[in-house]
Structure 1
Amino acid sequence: MKVALTGKKGIPMQILIAFILSIVVGIMYPAFAKSIKPLGDIFITLIKMIIVPVIFCTITTGIAGMGDMQKLKRVGTKMLVVYVGMTFVACAIGLGVGYLVRPGMGVTMAASQAFTQVVKTPTVGDFLLAMIPSNFVGALAKGDIVQVLVLGVFVGVALIGLGKKASTVKEVLEQGASISFYIIDIIMLYSPIGVFALMANAVAVYGVSIFGAMMKYIIAEYIAALLIVILVFILPLMLFARINIGKAIKDIGAVFIMSVSTCSGAATLPLAMDTATSKFKLPQWLVDFCLPLGGTVNSTGAAMYKSILIVFASDFYGLTLSVDQMIITVLISTMLSVASPGIPGGGIVMSAIMLNLMGLPYEIAGMLAGIYRLVDMVHTPMNVIGDIVGAILIGKSEGLWSNEEYVKESEA
């Protein structure tokens, strides 16, 4: 089998090579690895530059591509049920594993740092109000992903309602999406360098010593992640979609490596969307609709993390959660995961908010900040891959995707 190493087709293999080399360099040459971090920051900044036009253009054209309101209602309802359901189950699994491993028992961290981020406890009204942009252009300029998504939904619905009257606007947005993806192709040529710099720095900074006192916490995260992958991702794909799991794992490889390296769902979104259409053969309009929204609505990794965090914090401070508090933990984890920003380290702030809502001292978030990158390397792939899994399940239920066509078209 011929493996491409150059051009656009060679990027996944280049990223894999960069990923492996970064670990070696991070261990053997830590000073050099730390010095090249700006090269990784450049990559993340380039992705941030293009993410707003990608999300806005793809959401609007994805909804407009459905053609009618009934189809929008049906697919939109299925998307919410699938994505919120996956997030809810991930919360429950995280809570269960937390009580199985009990990562907070016996942990002492005298050198921990206080969490200095300003934490606000949001009300339901505040949460809903924050989703609605007060200014059309302002939301795009600020880069508020949730508000951009809301704008995209409104514009997409308007395009369906107006039909041919708005055909010119629809064409402009489709061209905007094409331009955005072309820019992404250019940025992706730089991605192996960015991935190398980010991962080499992470290995140099954290090394293997960080696994000491927090080993149980990290183990709990990885066990929960494995269970979610099996129960929430693989089983539904096998039983409902009848997918070829071996082929699917191979096709998702580049997305996995990119998400592990960047720890950013937003940065991985363009590659995930390309993989969903080119590798998994999902319809473009379905991908344009589901994946950008899924990046906000579906956060299995973030939800799992918050549940384990509450168990860790309660054990750390010698507290006992009641059954009611456990149920509230799952519900709040699910809701807060919808608001988690898809950026590196965004979960640290959200974890502080979660602790504050549960009445626990949120200073413990500062203790976990040192190892957050290590666990976020699990969260982000789960979030991103979960979006693709959900889109496949929705495509299967709508008769838009089948394993037979997936395998046949890929072979062709």
Structure 2
Amino acid sequence: MNLSIKIFIALVLAVIVGLIAGEPALPFINWWIAPIGTIFINLIKMMIVPVVLCSLVVGMTSLGDTTKLGRIGIKTILLYLVTTAIAIIIGFSVAGLAHPGLGLQMTSDAVVKVKEAPSIMQVFVAMVPANPVASMAKADILPVIVFALFIGVGILKVGGERADILIKFFDACAEVSYKIIGIVMSFAPIGVFALLLPVVAKNGPSVLLPLISVIACVAVGCLIHAVAVYSTLAKVWGGHTPAQFFRGMSEAMLIAFTTCSSAAALPVNMKNSQEKLGVSRDVSSFVLPLGATINMDGTALYMGVCSLFIANVFGIDLTYGQMAMIVLTGTLASIGTAGVPGAGLIMLAMVLQSVNLPMEGLALVAGIDRVLDMFRTCLNITGDGAVAIVMDQEEKRYAKKQAA
């Protein structure tokens, strides 16, 4: 049986068992089953830094020159920003049709503490590691990416035999990392079941029903964005049918859905993009780690839905100007909050503040944030894969033009 099908069966079983068991079984689940999920997450996280570091160095050295890196980098960031803006607009459209929260009187005394978003200069400063080993220990991906790029540039500048030794070393490390990921992924169905069961048992239908309209809008919006935008990009640039694209992305999507972590899905996404979608290693080694940190299409879509939901609950009519401000703020904030824990709520807080919506609205969605996070993280990494296909084909076309 295909691994993706096994993972999906485990996901469905976790939902069924979680709903039947409910909250009374939560102590048993948290004590005996949840730790298995934690072990699985730790196994994946164990490989994030080795994969990012080794793959980026190999990718950088295989690019052959720094001008190619700059060309790919600028195109990648621009495409990520464009798809993020489209995601917010789709979120608005779905919420505008469904009107989540309209006529709903919800009160919440809960106070949600949201960390202040860093300034753009703080983000730039944090990108350059004072201690690369410390950044690797904390799994801060952006500083690791910068460090790996510098190693790659250094190897290219050295050249000759000494450079070849290092290239072979990092290439071997990358291959070993992929093999380990393959071993870890064979336990994915068990890990997914153990991760999802506590979430379903804890939240259950009673907690989710009052906010089911928000969950449905985010889920439908993510589905529309994945099919209309991502599979179209994969078809037009890569020649992949939607079925081929989603089949190639399925394992990474399911891991992202259950773990709510783009970083956790990154090693699987890199392996599958190369093996199942035909993306070259040099492109995937750069585009996917970058996307795991700054590409937040799912979070952007969630902001569009949640801002309209909060406006409806508090009886506020959003103007087109306010909606345009949300699109702009959300798109720029997707990079500004890169790699920050709780980035979804930080971005939502920034958006609410930019259009003067009540900050108390955060408390309404905070309770179901874990459920919403599953959909938005899944969409985030799907976007990474689609953009990797586009960039790979763009580079192949550029190479053909240069050869001609």
1:82, 1:330 → 2: CA distance?
Answer: 15
Structure 1: gaps (5+ residues): 4-9, 402-412
In the alignment, residue 229 of structure 1 is paired with which amino acid?
A: A
Match of 1:161 in 2: 157
RMSD: 2.7
**1:269-348 residue pairs with structure 2 within 5 A?**
269-340=266-337, 346-348=343-345
Alignment TM-score, normalising by the size of structure 1: 0.85
- Is 1:147 equivalent to 2:148 in the alignment? no
Measure, in 2, the Cα distance between the counterparts of 1:180 and 1:358: 46
CA contact (8 A) 1:345 1:372 kept: no
| 5+ residue gaps, structure 2 | 399-404
In structure 2, relative to structure 1, the CA distance for the partners of 1:81 and 1:349 (3 Å cut) is closer
Q: Deviations over 1:198-248 (max 9, x none)?
A: 111122112222332212212321232232123211223334433222233
1:311-330 Cα deviation digits (max 9, x unpaired): 22333333344444322211
Q: Deviations over 1:61-87 (max 9, x none)?
A: 212211123322332233223222212
Q: CA deviation at 1:386?
A: 0.9
**2: distance between equivalents of 1:162 and 1:106?**
67
SS at match of 1:97: helix
User: 1:232-273 deviations in whole A, cap 9, x for unaligned?
Assistant: 112233344332222333333222222222221111111111
1:131 aligns with 2:127: yes
Name the CA shift for 1:214/1:271 in 2 (closer, same or farther; >3 Å). same
- Partner of 1:276, secondary structure, is helix
The amino acid of 2:12's aligned partner reads I
The reply to whether residue 20 of structure 1 matches residue 12 of structure 2 is yes
Q: State the distance in 1 between where 2:318 and 2:233 align.
A: 32
User: Which piece of structure 1 moves more, 188-197 or 123-132?
Assistant: 123-132
Contact 2:248 2:273 in 1 (8 A): no
Which stretch shifts more, 296-305 or 167-176? 167-176
Residue 33 of structure 1: how far off its partner (Å): 4.0
Match of 2:196 in 1: 199
Aligned pairs, how many?
Answer: 392
Partner Cα separation in structure 2 for residue 73 and residue 121 of structure 1: 27
CA distance in 2 between counterparts of 1:105 and 1:76 reads: 42
Letter in 2 for 1:316: V
Is the 1:255–1:272 Cα contact (8 Å) retained in structure 2?
yes
2:401 aligned residue? none
Q: Which has the higher helix share?
A: 2
Query: Match for 1:184 among 165, 181, 184?
Result: 181
Identity %: 33
Residues 142-191 of structure 1: CA distance to partner in whole angstroms, max 9, x if unpaired?
Answer: 32222222222333233333333533333333233233333323332332
Deviations 1:298-350 (A, max 9, x none): 22111111222222233333334444432221122112223556799652344
- Mapped to 2, the partners of 1:357 and 1:167 lie a distance apart of 52
Q: 1:126 to 1:248 in 2, by over 3 A?
A: closer
C-alpha distance in structure 2 between counterparts of 1:12 and 1:59, whole Å: 27
CA distance in 2, matches of 1:158, 1:39: 41
Picking from 378, 392, 395, the partner of 1:395 is: 392
Structure 1 residue 112, shift from structure 2 partner: 5.3
Question: When the two structures are superposed, what TM-score results if normalisation uses the length of structure 2?
Answer: 0.87
Q: Retained in 2: the 8 A contact 1:26–1:203?
A: yes
Report matched runs for 1:226-305 at 5 Å: 226-305=223-302
1:399 match: secondary structure: helix
- Which of 81, 97, 103 aligns to 1:84? It is 81
- The 1-side partners of 2:309 and 2:283 are apart by 39
Aligned-partner Cα distance in 2 for 1:392–1:51: 21
CA 1:355 to 1:175, structure 2 compared with 1: closer, same or farther past 3 Å?
farther
